[in-house]
Structure 1
């Protein structure tokens, strides 16, 4: 059976190549390159949001300050869940490259669960902030804070849906060059969001508590 036939039939394909499975099909390699370009544009978006936050973070207009609303245990737990999910996401990619479908599905499911925990704590944080009078329109600082952290949270939410759909495709079709490319790309996106969160954790939360 040729590689296209095997892919169409949904059977696992392991070609004799030094390249990872997701790069063995030139069409999939081009799509991965395109996704790298997308991440570059997304990096510009977050760069603008970080720059805006740094300019207006002291403009509280007499309202809540970072010290009064940033909860150290809360954002520490958020960081733990998201960074741990990046590790489990990497394990899912490793399982995919080893052709271990069961392990791949397991690690994807764990990654999704950790991501949901992150989102749950972030929603709890936002609700708590609003209860303290820290609303989006209260000051320039809060507008920039909710926009930056909320944009990241929306990206994580999209990533969770995407990862779940990828899990379903792997469960149905197995590990093929197409599904392996999807697993690789969704994890690449997830790692990117983790890197962005490290900057949010440092620039927004930690500096907000000490400055």
Structure 2
């Protein structure tokens, strides 16, 4: 029970951080105005595909949690591994986009948009990395046979964090990619 309470507190503080970053993003978008040239650097289609994979990882994690609660450890391993793969592929997609942007001289100091873009998406990527580390630890413990008590709240606590990261990405993707694409 303490795991879930602590995770709720972590998520609450992280929510404040992301809300602040998103308000900053919107403020600068409205006051300074992002240039259409900067927005054109972004690849909404590719990022959209990688986003669907991240969102799918929430489904695989729910399946992992379900199988864990039912004591089906073999299926837990499969679904947990699938979640880790999907989250890793999402990060690969973001790294690929960053590499492309940097090669096109779109960097954090180019303009207000690029600064806000790298800050917001970079903080999200950092949170995905933390989530993946936690999932990998549970996966390794499961492979070692040390994670087989369905009464543990560790996986459900990590699941809360992972779902939070997915929800944040829905907001970030909509704010950074979809709205500017629709409004240009």
Same fold (TM over 0.5): yes
Structure 2 residue ranges without an equivalent (≥5)? none
| Runs of 4+ with deviation above 4 angstroms | 60-63
What whole-Å deviation, never above 9, does each CA across 1:80-105 have from its counterpart, x for those lacking one? 11001111011000011111000111
The answer as to whether partners of 1:64 and 1:134 remain within 8 angstroms in 2 is no
What is the aligned partner in structure 1 of residue 94 from structure 2? 122
CA distance in 2, matches of 1:78, 1:61: 24
Name the TM-score, length of structure 2 as normaliser.
0.92
1:175 matched residue in structure 2: 148
| Matched positions, count | 181
Q: Name the CA shift for 1:111/1:61 in 2 (closer, same or farther; >3 Å).
A: closer
Contact map agreement 1:99 1:175 (CA 8 A) in 2: yes
Mean Cα displacement is larger for which, 123-132 or 40-49? Answer: 123-132
Aligned to 2:3: 31
Counterparts of 1:123 and 1:137 in 2: how far apart (Å)?
A: 18
Aligned pairs (5 A) from 1:127-206: 127-172=99-144, 173-176=146-149, 180-206=152-178
Q: Tell me if the contact between 2:69 and 2:150 (Cα under 8 Å) persists in the aligned partners.
A: no
Question: Aligned with 1:176: secondary structure?
Answer: coil
Q: Aligned partners of 2:168, 2:73: CA distance in 1, in Å?
A: 29
Residue in structure 2 matched with residue 6 of structure 1 by the alignment: none
Q: CA RMSD in A?
A: 1.7
Q: CA deviation at 1:57?
A: 2.8
| Partner SS for 2:153 | helix
